[in-house]
């Protein structure tokens, strides 16, 4: 993640979160027989890239060693072209990323790594809670880093499909990382598009921003939590993080206020927002709620429209946005960090009559679907294609709107059914 088109990297993040990165691939150094007819084309393409690789400070030895007998990982091309058949509403996205389970785990991780996180905060000026929040959202605290071998996947994406120039840059960066000895090949696994490690940096981002914080001479975002978390703090610092400032606050706006042209980038002073009648959601003046002077520049976002929660956002929200180029993502990070410090959910309800499910509630729903005879596979809290097909059938049976979306309405209905 960490750059590129938001659409691609947004879907990539969800894949990482759900922990279902199951692309099949073959070890780059494993000279097995090449069975896919595309491998000949791949080898020819890579031969054509050799000159650029040499220009890109990759040694002839390195190039030879990691590309010689490579077999393509063509499963990534399907992922590259995947069009989600289902657009996740923001409330479902948020409920899956920031639920009680994640908040509890984040607090526990903060306590367990307090000394390290304190040193990182001192070195980079980024709060512990923010760093832990990124860690939790990116890899579920190092538990889901992706299992795709990224050299074969990036080699394939460099030679097939759209965005080849982008992925060539990432392939070359990966080879330089291997060449430097920062991370050994056998550990270098990640998401299908090349993001890897506990905070899922793309290889080029690694080159620019990863740091060796445990002092062993290697920058290792996979097996060193210290390096990974410090690198995240460094990313945010370089992205303009302002020490001592919050990210923003949930706001309350007058019903008559026209916010159609407002956004994260379109900043006004807090005094200007105050004059327009905007307050913190608890009714306080923005300057008071944020602890900042009246001339502080702030944007206003309304990701689910005027009826849903709206937010005043500051420079640090932009730094969070820079991590993954999506407002929903930045909001999840900000909210998780707030929840870790004792805040509750948003005050304004989401504009839906069918509230979202936490991961535990999604597992409960799946258990009920299994009990009703739907073959949805494992109970994993991820409402994928099979779960959604079963949800559609149940919605039809119950006379609900047939959306395929698992929400509180269906969970309640099935729970009532099963207790009869
Ligand atoms: Ca290190």
Residues 255 and 379 in one domain: no
Q: Look at residue 87 in the predicted model and tell me its pLDDT.
A: 81
Q: Answer yes or no: is pLDDT of 14 > 60.
A: no
Tell me, in angstroms, the distance from the centre of ligand 1 to residue 260's CA: 47
Average pLDDT score over residue span 95-120: 97
Average pLDDT score over residue span 186-200: 95
* Enclosing H/E stretch for 297: strand 297-301
Q: Answer yes or no: is pLDDT of 28 > 50.
A: no
Instruction: Look up 115 and say whether it is catalytic.
Output: no
Tell me, in angstroms, the distance from the centre of ligand 1 to residue 221's CA: 8
Q: Look at residue 81 in the predicted model and tell me its pLDDT.
A: 87
DSSP 242: -
Q: Answer yes or no: is pLDDT of 259 > 50.
A: yes
Domains held by the chain: number: 3
Q: Answer yes or no: is pLDDT of 22 > 80.
A: no
Residues 407 and 262 in one domain: no
Q: What is the pLDDT of residues 242-254, one digit of tens each?
A: 999 999 999 999 9
Residues 122 and 218 in one domain: yes
Q: Look at residue 53 in the predicted model and tell me its pLDDT.
A: 96
Q: What is the pLDDT of residues 319-333, one digit of tens each?
A: 999 988 899 999 999
Q: Answer yes or no: is pLDDT of 83 > 70.
A: yes
Residues 103 and 60 in one domain: yes
Q: What is the pLDDT of residues 178-192, one digit of tens each?
A: 999 999 999 999 999
pLDDT bracket for residue 17 (50, 70, 90): very low
pLDDT bracket for residue 33 (50, 70, 90): low
Q: Look at residue 69 in the predicted model and tell me its pLDDT.
A: 85
**Is residue 318 a contact partner of residue 80, using CB atoms and an 8 Å limit?**
no
**Is residue 300 a contact partner of residue 278, using CB atoms and an 8 Å limit?**
yes
Tell me, in angstroms, the distance from the centre of ligand 1 to residue 198's CA: 13
Judge if pTM exceeds 0.85: yes
Residues 252 and 127 in one domain: no
Length of the chain (residues)? 420
Residues 85 and 171 in one domain: yes
List CB-based neighbours of ion ligand 1 within 5 Å. Answer: 212, 214, 216, 218, 224, 227
Of 129, 138, 170, 207, catalytic: 138
- Please provide the average confidence, as pLDDT, over all residues in the chain: 91
**Is residue 154 a contact partner of residue 194, using CB atoms and an 8 Å limit?**
yes
- Domain finish residue from 291, 313, 335: 313
Tell me, in angstroms, the distance from the centre of ligand 1 to residue 188's CA: 15
Residues 151 and 267 in one domain: no
Residues 259 and 111 in one domain: no
Q: Answer yes or no: is pLDDT of 12 > 90.
A: no
pLDDT bracket for residue 10 (50, 70, 90): very low
Average pLDDT score over residue span 19-48: 66
Residues 255 and 323 in one domain: no
Tell me, in angstroms, the distance from the centre of ligand 1 to residue 225's CA: 9
Tell me, in angstroms, the distance from the centre of ligand 1 to residue 250's CA: 38
Distance CA 334, CA 345 (A): 12
How many Cβ atoms sit within 10 Å of the Cβ of residue 81? Answer: 9
Q: Is 189 helix (H, G, I), strand (E, B) or coil?
A: strand
Average pLDDT score over residue span 295-315: 97
Q: Look at residue 76 in the predicted model and tell me its pLDDT.
A: 94
Residues 217 and 343 in one domain: yes
Q: Look at residue 1 in the predicted model and tell me its pLDDT.
A: 46
CA distances in angstroms from 255 to 88, 260, 286, 349, listed in the order given: 27, 13, 18, 16
DSSP labels, 155-173: HHHHHSSS-HHHHHHHHHH
Residues 153 and 97 in one domain: yes
* Enclosing H/E stretch for 398: helix 385-398
Percent of the chain at pLDDT above 70? 92
pLDDT bracket for residue 30 (50, 70, 90): very low
Residues in contact with 214: Cβ distance below 8 Å, sequence separation at least 6, in sequence order? 224, 226, 227
Tell me, in angstroms, the distance from the centre of ligand 1 to residue 282's CA: 44
Tell me, in angstroms, the distance from the centre of ligand 1 to residue 214's CA: 5
Residues 189 and 329 in one domain: yes
Residue 395: domain span? 359-418
Distance CA 217, CA 12 (A): 30
Average pLDDT score over residue span 94-99: 95
Say which residue, 382 or 13, is predicted with more confidence.
382
Average pLDDT score over residue span 201-205: 97
Distance CA 376, CA 387 (A): 5
* Domain CATH for 398: 1.10.101
Least confident of 1-15, 187-201, 280-294, 334-348: 1-15
**Is residue 130 a contact partner of residue 337, using CB atoms and an 8 Å limit?**
yes
Q: Look at residue 420 in the predicted model and tell me its pLDDT.
A: 75
Q: Look at residue 389 in the predicted model and tell me its pLDDT.
A: 96
- Domain finish residue from 303, 334, 352: 352
Q: Look at residue 320 in the predicted model and tell me its pLDDT.
A: 97
Tell me, in angstroms, the distance from the centre of ligand 1 to residue 215's CA: 5
């Amino acid at each position: 993640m960490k750059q590129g088109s938001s659409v691609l990297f947004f879907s990539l993040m969800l894949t990482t979160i759900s922990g279902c990165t199951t692309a099949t691939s073959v070890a780059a150094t494993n000279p097995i027989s090449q069975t896919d007819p595309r491998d000949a084309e791949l080898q020819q393409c890579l031969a054509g890239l050799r000159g650029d690789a040499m220009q890109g400070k990759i040694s002839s030895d390195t190039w030879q060693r990691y590309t010689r007998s490579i077999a393509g990982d063509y499963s990534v091309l399907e992922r590259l072209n995947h069009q989600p058949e289902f657009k996740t509403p923001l409330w479902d996205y948020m409920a899956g990323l920031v639920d009680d389970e994640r908040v509890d785990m984040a607090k526990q991780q903060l306590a367990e790594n307090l000394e390290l996180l304190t040193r990182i905060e001192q070195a980079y000026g980024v709060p512990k809670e923010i760093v832990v929040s990124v860690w939790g959202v990116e890899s579920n605290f190092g538990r889901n880093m992706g299992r795709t071998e990224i050299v074969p996947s990036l080699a394939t994406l460099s030679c097939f499909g759209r965005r080849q120039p982008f992925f060539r840059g990432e392939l070359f960066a990966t080879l330089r990382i291997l060449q430097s000895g920062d991370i050994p090949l056998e550990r270098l696994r990640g998401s299908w598009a090349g993001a890897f490690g506990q905070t899922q940096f793309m290889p080029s981002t690694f080159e620019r921003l990863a740091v060796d914080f445990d002092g062993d001479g290697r920058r290792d975002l996979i097996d060193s939590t210290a390096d990974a978390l410090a690198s995240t703090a460094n990313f945010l610092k370089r992205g303009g993080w302002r020490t001592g400032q919050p990210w923003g606050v949930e706001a309350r706006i007058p019903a008559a206020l026209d916010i159609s042209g407002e956004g994260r980038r379109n900043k006004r002073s807090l005094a200007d927002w105050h004059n327009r009648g905007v307050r913190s959601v608890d009714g306080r003046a923005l300057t008071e709620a944020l602890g900042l002077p009246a001339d502080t520049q702030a944007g206003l976002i309304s990701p689910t429209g005027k009826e849903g929660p709206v937010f005043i956002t500051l420079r640090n929200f932009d730094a969070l946005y820079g991590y993954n180029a999506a407002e929903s993502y930045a909001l999840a990070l900000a909210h998780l960090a707030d929840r870790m410090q004792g805040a509750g959910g948003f005050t304004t309800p989401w504009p839906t009559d069918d509230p979202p499910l936490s991961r535990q509630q999604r597992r409960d729903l799946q258990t009920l679907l299994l009990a009703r005879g739907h073959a949805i596979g494992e109970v994993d809290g991820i409402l994928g294609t099979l779960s959604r097909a079963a949800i559609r059938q149940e919605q039809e049976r119950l006379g609900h709107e047939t959306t395929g979306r698992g929400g509180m309405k269906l969970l309640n209905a099935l729970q009532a059914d099963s207790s009869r």
